[in-house]
Chains A and B, each alone.
Chain A
Amino acid sequence: MEPLFLIVEDDLQICNFIKFSLKSQEYNCMEASTGKEALNALASEPITAIILDLGLPDIDGLDIIKQVRTFSEIPIIVVSARDQDAEKVEALDAGADDYLTKPFSIKELLARIRVVFRHSGTQKEVHSVYKFADLEIDLAKHRVMVRGQEVHFTPLEFNILALLLKNYGKVLTHQYILNEVWGSSLENDVQSLRVFMANIRRKLEKNPAQPRYIITEVGVGYRFADE
């Protein structure tokens, strides 16, 4: 089935630009400039992914995500302004798959789209062994090889790494990681998560201040970079 995108954006120019970039990749798309239109389109058309601006004139973007999630698991990529950090995180925790901050580049947009498709629906990729440039991780055997050398990971560190790997390319919020790995998400746990991430980074990266794999999304969470 051909992917059909729904672009929900009230600014015509940005909408045009997104449409143009999607068409250049031969994706089909529809437009909606209000939340109402978007919900109508979702009800009537076979939409496969949504690109959603958080600042809509009628309905809060967050409510749209919540409504969509009641009946569908289709990928949602959120577009937000730079000073909407809190909303961004809320949107991700409410079920959005990824986010872009204005101004974003086409490369970024297309990369996000590839990632969400990779992790969604029937095309879901689940591996047991992940290989990147100088990294090889075997989830079944709990083994991490960095530049040909086996590196020891504690069980918790390994669980975090595994979670990031299974969602590689996709941003995971602090909240999400804490819930998945620890089963709880107390506020001060974010601090200990940071310590774990720092340790993982030191084991994987040549220079932890210029990470190749473990990317920090400041104020949001972490992403395992695949490209």
Chain B
Amino acid sequence: MAIKQIKNTPNIKFISRQVAIVLLFTLVATLLSFLIEYLGFTEANIIIVYILSVLLASRYTRGFVFGILSSFVATLSFNFFFTEPVYTFTVYDKSYIFTFIIMLLAAIFSSTLTSNLIHAKERANAQEKQAQTLYEITSSLAKTRGIRDVITVSMQCLSYLFACEVIYLVTDVNKNKFEMIKLSSSAEDFIFDELEQEQLNSFITQYYSIPIQVQGNRVCIICLPKNVENSNQENQYLLESVFMQITIAMEREYINKEKETAKIETEQERFKSNLLRAVSHDLRTPLSVITGASEMLLHSLDEPENVNVAKGIYEDSIWLTRFVENILSLTRIQEGRLNVVTQLEAVEEVVGESIRQVHKHSPNHKISVTIPDDVVFVYMDSKLIIQVLINLLDNAVKHTGPEDGINLSVTLDKGKIWFNVSDNGAGIEKKSLDKIFDIFYLTDNHRTDARRGMGLGLAICKAIVNMHGGEIYAENNSSGGASFYFFLNR
């Protein structure tokens, strides 16, 4: 670390030092003047020597005040030591008053010029140093990888720069605590500790504390000794710039981290849906065989017991086939919403096909249908909407006996088309109502069939309907049974 330290300079010490410099130069000038007098040179030489001392004093002190002071001291010394009567501040020859005034003016003028020059040079130096320091901090922060690195490197920078103890309070999102990292003024050892949320306020009031915010979140609080806050203007600017650099570095790291997390999540998501799709795909073929073979047995067996076994296999394989189709649809939906191609479809054709499919496997259930008299065309992915209707109708079939009624109605309302599937079965438990569309939500009451609780079918309905810009709802009918209804925009 090549950052130069900036020292804070106490006032009294500073002033006395400056005064000492002034007195020293005047003393040297006076001694030199005695030598000149002894050698018998003219008085003009003495005046020149004194003016030189003022120039030098202005050069080696800070601020024009000391230059002016030096002018006065020089003039007075000349008066005191070298004008008649010597060793007094009075003069006999009135022309000396004029000499004093000219000498004083010359001294003041030259000292002011000198100190201005020095001041400008110092400012330029300070700015250059500040730029240099900032550059070094920026480049060391730019090399950091990860939040941790940013924290330690920036702590070292601050500690070097202000020669003080640095404390970071890092916000821990999960716990109600702050991680406290201390770095001593020698910038050698890190000390790790914790701070409870409640202790925060009393802790930070002891310090000059600056919160670092990234995207509206307080990531950490930097605590520095209070005297850093009261240091000179240049240090303040520098401090602000350093905090800005730290914020930028942290922001960069947070954004990187977010990107990384998002990337990992998408990859996991893709892997998951690829796996699901592969599995589902491979399940299809054996399922076709199981369904076909059991159906064949169903028709060729004679003994009722055997027929029942075959029937069980057949029905379960049908259920499993639907389940696999649902998973495939879900992966299709999750993979990319853009893959859904909507086109104008006649609603009655979609409804008719859904009922035909359900009827194939549940021929005993009666489904009554009402649709608008006129042909209605709606933009949709017909295969997906058919799947929604099949899932809803299947669900109704599972919850009702053949003697119960299932009703599917389609109605038009302004810019929307509503589909309503209702049954007069047992209805939905109240506490399940708002969770019924969640993936894999299982209802507690196993009324008819333990498996039918698999909420996957309804979750897919919701996903498909939402994808079409519609909404799906579930409620219990006042006359008993449940209603599922959804709308699509026309």
Which one of A17, A197, A217 has the greatest number of beta carbons of chain B within 10 Å?
A: A17
Question: Does residue B348 face the partner (Cβ distance < 8 Å to A)?
Answer: yes
Among the stretches B25-33, B177-185, B285-293, the one at the interface with A is B285-293
- Contacts of B279-329 to chain A: CB distance below 8 A: 284-289, 291-293, 295-296, 299-300, 317, 321, 325, 328
| Interface membership of chain A positions 25-55, coded 1 if the CB is closer than 8 angstroms to chain B and 0 otherwise | 0000000000000000000000000000000
Question: Does residue A147 face the partner (Cβ distance < 8 Å to B)?
Answer: no
Question: Does residue B346 face the partner (Cβ distance < 8 Å to A)?
Answer: yes
One of B288, B350, B386 near A14 (C-beta < 8 A): B288
Instruction: Add 8 more A-B contacts to A11-B285, A197-B349, A198-B346 (CB < 8 A).
Output: A11-B289, A14-B289, A105-B360, A107-B295, A194-B375, A210-B367, A215-B352, A218-B386
Q: Are the C-beta atoms of B348 and A198 separated by less than 8 Å?
A: yes
Report, nearest first, the 10 A-B pairs whose CB atoms are least far apart. A103-B288, A198-B375, A216-B349, A13-B289, A209-B369, A17-B292, A209-B371, A103-B291, A102-B288, A209-B351
Interface bin, chain A: 35 or more
Question: Does residue A219 face the partner (Cβ distance < 8 Å to B)?
Answer: yes
- Contacts of A188-215 to chain B: CB distance below 8 A: 191, 194-195, 197-199, 201, 207-211, 215
Name the distance in Å between B293's Cβ and chain A's nearest Cβ.
6
Chain B residues, CB < 8 A from A85: 383
| Interface membership of chain B positions 5-49, coded 1 if the CB is closer than 8 angstroms to chain A and 0 otherwise | 000000000000000000000000000000000000000000000
- Contacts of B78-125 to chain A: CB distance below 8 A: none
One of A81, A102, A191, A210 near B344 (C-beta < 8 A): A191
Q: Are the C-beta atoms of B377 and A194 separated by less than 8 Å?
A: yes
Chain A residues, CB < 8 A from B293: 17, 20
Which one of A16, A24, A211 has the greatest number of beta carbons of chain B within 10 Å?
A: A211
Chain A residues, CB < 8 A from B383: 85, 218-219
Name the distance in Å between A7's Cβ and chain B's nearest Cβ.
13
Name B's A-contacting residues (CB within 8 A): 284-289, 291-293, 295-296, 299-300, 317, 321, 325, 328, 344, 346, 348-353, 355-356, 360, 367, 369-371, 375, 377, 382-383, 386, 408, 410
Name the distance in Å between B420's Cβ and chain A's nearest Cβ.
13
Kindly report which residue of chain A lies nearest to residue B350, judged by CB atoms: A218
Q: Could you tell me the distance between the alpha carbons of A155 and B383 in the complex, rounded to whole angstroms?
A: 32
Q: Could you tell me the distance between the alpha carbons of A21 and B371 in the complex, rounded to whole angstroms?
A: 39
Q: Could you tell me the distance between the alpha carbons of A96 and B349 in the complex, rounded to whole angstroms?
A: 24
Given A103-B284, A194-B346, answer yes or no on A216-B296 (Cβ-Cβ < 8 Å).
no
- Write 5 A-B pairs (CB below 8 A) sorted by A numbering: A103-B288, A103-B321, A104-B288, A194-B349, A199-B375
Kindly report which residue of chain B lies nearest to residue A17, judged by CB atoms: B292
Chain B residues, CB < 8 A from A156: none
Q: Are the C-beta atoms of A208 and B348 separated by less than 8 Å?
A: yes
Chain A residues, CB < 8 A from B295: 105-107
Kindly report which residue of chain A lies nearest to residue B370, judged by CB atoms: A209
Which one of B287, B350, B375, B410 has the greatest number of beta carbons of chain A within 10 Å?
A: B375
Q: Are the C-beta atoms of B289 and A17 separated by less than 8 Å?
A: yes
Q: Could you tell me the distance between the alpha carbons of A217 and B288 in the complex, rounded to whole angstroms?
A: 20
